Amino acid sequence: MTEAPPYPQKRTCPYEPPPGYQEIGERGPVLKVTLFDGREAWMVTGYRESREILTHPNLSSQRTHPGFPIVAPRFRSQIARSLALIAMDPPVHDIYRRYLNPHFSLRTVRGMRPQLEGIVSGYIDAIIDHGPPADLVPMLAVPLPSLVICRHLGVPYEDHDFFQDASGKVMLGTEEESATAAQDLVDYIDRLVAAQIKEPSDGLLGTLVRERVIPGDVGHDELVSIALVLLIAAHETTSSSLALSVITLLEHPDQLARIQEDPARLPGAIEELLRYIATTDLVATRVAKGDIEIAGHLIREGEGVLVSGTLANRDDQVHSRAHEFDVLREDTHHLTFGFGIHQCLGQNLARLELEVALHQLLTRVPGLRLAVPVDELPILGAGTVQRVLRLPVEW
């Protein structure tokens, strides 16, 4: 075995970890890995250890720290290293979360269900009218979360092609593509915020202008950074999770049949999908701002720390039959949305989008199946968001 295995590695199957992660998992729950630039960082792969370290007071999200681990060249840009919320520690992080939490609460999201059901119904109508084969990436997985977050934020949906393309490049492009796309998005949102300050709309951006910018709690540039994070995070992860969920269900027809027998099983099945797929390979990229003792290891101040959702979600010390996909599983607890103060702000909305989209797709398009073998589906992403570029289906 290598002293510090390479990380990240590419998937060869949309819903399974890369083959090399077996060694990393066996070496866990805490070990060192080697990043693309030759630097080493600590990786936490155990479920319990991940929860422990994600609440440790000496774990920092400050991406400008010289010891912060960068897992791909595209994350070296200034914008990527200064993102609101994601690259912040308390107390500023907690203040921003307090401003945003009510707008993504379970109560708020539940109130969005009728609108969301109508949106999904329109996309399914279009898929049925189109007829097989149909590519679910451009016909459902990509536009659905884009339209939902546009309406929630108050962003003009006619600009969705631009920010879908830009957000994809930020997360999965080359270093130059990512930096350019991030700046394009910042410039675009900067103009939106300026317009909202002149005449606030009813969306979340307008609400934050009235409640936080005008009173002086949040500055113009701060709101731009917040909106950038919300726009990218809400689009990329949910889009990929939906596509990967469809593939996983279609490749496990016995599990799909269980949902079709009783649609009330769908919410539990979604938790199992979130555990099993782990769309975002890492749930945390951090740096130690003080020494941390964990699982018999000493992580020293200034050393980088990665937390692997993919491996923590399949920890056989916590999950029985950890590598099996079982929609009736009771131990579906997972770290896909993170843990602790940085737990995903939009998780309630993501769950609802997955539930409504999968319910309508599976009930209104019976006999759904992949139009090509799963190993021919193009996969993009390593160490960040796993994305399927095409998803052709028949029925």
CATH code: domain of residue 276? 1.10.630.10
217 within domain boundaries: yes
Q: Which pair of structure tokens corresponds to residue 376?
A: 């021919």
CB distance 356 to 117 below 8 Å = yes
- Tens of pLDDT, residues 324-375: 999 999 999 999 999 999 999 999 999 999 999 999 999 999 999 999 999 9
Phi-psi region of 216 (alpha: psi -120 to 50; beta: other; left: phi over 0): left
* Residue 1 forms part of a structural domain: no
Q: How far apart are CA 344 and CA 63, in angstroms?
A: 18
Q: How many domains does the chain have?
A: 1
- Total H helices, total E strands in the chain: 15, 12
Distance CA 60, CA 305 (A): 9
Strands (E), 160-300: 282-288, 292-294, 297-299
100 within a domain of the structure (yes/no): yes
Q: Model's pTM, two decimal places? A: 0.94
Residue 155, pLDDT score:
85
Quote the crossing angle between the two packed helices 347-364 and 253-261, to the nearest 10°: 90
Dist. CA 162–CA 189, nearest whole Å: 12
Higher per-residue pLDDT: 57 or 179: 57
| Full domain range(s) for residue 263 | 21-394
> Over 50: is that where the pLDDT of 1 sits?
no
Task: Give, in order, the Cα–Cα distances in Å from 185 to each of 28, 80, 145, 341.
Answer: 38, 12, 17, 26
Check pLDDT > 70 for residue 240: yes
Answer yes or no: are the C-beta atoms of 371 and 393 closer than 8 Å. Answer: yes
Mean pLDDT of the chain: 93
For residue 69, being part of any structural domain is answered with yes
Helix (H, G, I), strand (E, B) or coil at 43: strand
Q: What is the pLDDT of residues 194-216, one digit of tens each?
A: 999 999 988 999 999 999 999 99
Tell me, yes or no, whether 4 lies in a domain: no
Residue 383's pLDDT is 62
pLDDT score at 164: 78
